A and B are shown apart, each in its own frame.
Chain A
Amino acid sequence: MRSLRNILVIATTAATVVVFTVMVVALYVSTRIKLLNRFDNSLLEKARLLASTIEYDDDGDLDLEFKEMDMREFEAGAEGYLQFWLDGDKLLYRSPSLGASDLNQFGGTDEEPAFSWVDLPEGRRGRAVGYTYNPRFDIDYDEDKYEYDDDDDEKDKAKKLRKKLKKERKIERARSRMKPMTLMLGRDTGPIDAILGDLFTQILVTGILAVIILAGVLWFVVRRSMKPLDRLATQISQVGDEDLSKRIELAKAPSEIIPVRDRLNDLLSRLEAAFQRERSFSADVAHELRNPIAGLRSTMEITLGKEREVGEYQEAIDDSLEITTQMQDMVEKLLSLARLESGQVEIKPEDVALNELIDSEWKTLAESADTKKLKVHWESGEPVRVTTDASLLRIVVRNILENAVSYADEGGDIRIEVASGNGKADISVSNSSSKIDREQAEHVFKRFWRSDVARTDAGLHCGLGLPLVKKVAEVLGGTATVSTSDNGDFKISISVSNYEAG
């Protein structure tokens, strides 16, 4: 199982190990380079010092003065190795540490001494510096000695000149005997490797300890900071299907969890509201079906209770039929609503002439409007067209017209208006209604809500017509609104845009 906690601990620890390793390697390498540099410098320094002690004298003989210096480091078994050659390969001196072996020459000049790794006797390894140079020529030549004084006579002068020439010839001779000297100075690097090894071991041990401690601390800290997630899970698990009113509290939650908690609580609120709606809707449906069923049952039971005249049976059947029709109407509206809500309705857009739609729907209502002596203000006029689903729009038109006829005051007015423009069509139907006030008007789109007026002839209206209108209008991408005017007009306005798929 992927665990955030493990991922965090492992990733952080691994990253630390990598960073640490890189650091250690860099440190090791740079320290080693620095140490070797110093090593080389001290080698060169020593070499120069030794080299400077070798001189040619007036006779052109080499004077190996270094032999009188402290040469302990070159003794047998010591770490220093020294070898001099004259004129290339004529061995001049070999330190006792070298025994019978030689250091390899690898070039280098006085200006640019060469450094190299070398294999040393007894299987040792070390660094060496080497270069070829001309040893100093230590002559005892004092010019002044041969300068003429004012009081010198010719003889003295000639003597001085002869002496000077003799000296110069001697020097010349000695100079011609001078040969270049090659020096190799090596030293075992064992001590450096030992220091580096120690350093490396120490760093490694410290590092491993640090990583282990870090991983432990990380694990603890991550575990601690993940606690709110556990609490969140516990709290979520306590939210049951039965009771959605519970909210996730999670006091002292870290800022990363707060949005999660808040979104979850939002979700719970929406779920609760939806469940509540669903529950009360089911209760409403049950309630609304009980009345007509009670009506049907008692009508039938009472009629069957004793022998009756034919006319009474007919009346009872008429009554039952009427109840059945109302129930059918209600069930159909409920099914329409349910279908619209679950998105099972396919919208087939076509060009609809609104005027014709209103004319055809009005035909079925004209008679009841006449009975109520309603004055209808409706002029078909210029055709108003809209691209939408004709059968759904028909539901809207039928219901708002029915609503107007049902609730208009006796002898009142009904005003139907249509308009179009900006890619949409508006329909508004208003009726004079002294019994519905502004406050009540706000409820007309609620399911099963009926005004007291509607309740008075209970059964005729199930309180689903206008909610259906609103739902259909929304599905068609439009709106349905109601308004009341001060002179007691109740108005429903529908606005439907040209339908665009998607």
Chain B
Amino acid sequence: MAILFIEDYKPLLKSVTKGLREAGYTVDSTGDGEEGLWFALTGKYDVIILDLMLPNVDGLTILKKLRKKENPVHVLILTAKDTLDDKLKGLDLGADDYLVKPFAFEELLARVRALVRRNYEKKSPLITVADLEIDSNKRIAKRAGKPLDLTAREYAILEFMALNAGNVVSRTNIWENIYDSAAEAYSNVVDVYINALRRKLEDGGLSRLIHTRRGEGYVLEEKD
């Protein structure tokens, strides 16, 4: 899950970016409005966390430009402005959520999760594919009732594939979802993670869930 975080207050930018990454998200962050707009327009993000008062280009302008280009990305406004007017303005311009500083980090995470679910039109935090169960709130996965011991990246890939269950996801898709734009691409990193996931999923002789589509990517589904 990829998040763009645009926030000009550096200590907050630093800590929240760190927290989001530790929660398993891929995070691009910037303290400059102009740079933020460029990221938003060129990258593919599940959620953009947007401050309003930004140097060069302010948050509402970024939001307006995104919506003008019919970019459907979910935007959460994170700001110190707490008046009803500010909130209405933000939401009317197409923001999906509004959180006032200071905030509990857990709340920010919960709201981000809710927005991610909406991306896949899911209201429940639970994702089920055959005997695979994923709880996106608790960030745990179970196969046949048995909890899987996954790293944050492995979990992120599994959740992404489960949300797209039955559909082919390319290696690039997966890549974008687990690495921020600053990371350099290794062609086989995705394959390495997929292999590790398959091992953990099929532990104890269970059936294969992640299938390879030659030349296209991977698909998570139950095959008869």
A residues lining the B interface (CB < 8 Å): 283, 286-288, 290-299, 301-303, 305-306, 316, 319, 322-323, 452-453, 455-459
Contacts and interface: CB of A to CB of B under 8 A. Distances in A.
B101 A299 contact: no
A298 B32 CA distance: 20
B80 A294 contact: yes
A322 B11 contact: yes
A298 B102 CA distance: 8
B189 interface: no
Interface string B8-36: 11111011101100100000000110000
Per DSSP, chain A at the interface is helix
Contacts of A305: 19, 22, 105
Given A301-B106, A452-B55, 16 more contacts: A287-B81, A290-B101, A292-B9, A294-B9, A294-B80, A295-B12, A297-B103, A297-B104, A298-B19, A298-B105, A305-B19, A305-B105, A316-B15, A323-B11, A455-B53, A457-B10
B100 interface: yes
Contacts of A322: 11
Contacts of A319: 11, 14-15
A301 B101 CA distance: 14
B151 interface: no
A316 B18 CA distance: 11
A84 B141 CA distance: 156
A284 to B, nearest CB: 10
Interface residues of B, number: 29
A452 B8 CA distance: 10
B8 A455 contact: yes
A293 B8 contact: no
B16 A302 contact: yes
Contacts of B18: 302
Contact of B32 (A286, A323, A456): A456
B29 to A, nearest CB: 13
Given A299-B15, A323-B11, A290 B102 contact: yes
B60 interface: no
B14 A458 contact: no
Contact of A294 (B8, B12, B32, B54): B12
A455 B19 contact: no
A298 B22 CA distance: 13
B42 interface: no
Interface string B83-101: 1000000000000000011
Which of B11, B31, B101 is packed against the most chain A CB atoms within 10 Å?
B11
Contacts of B56: 452
A297 B19 CA distance: 12
A459 B9 contact: yes
B12 A302 contact: no
A455 B206 CA distance: 56
A293 B22 contact: no
B185 to A, nearest CB: 28
B15 A459 contact: no
Given A302-B18, A305-B19, A459 B10 contact: yes
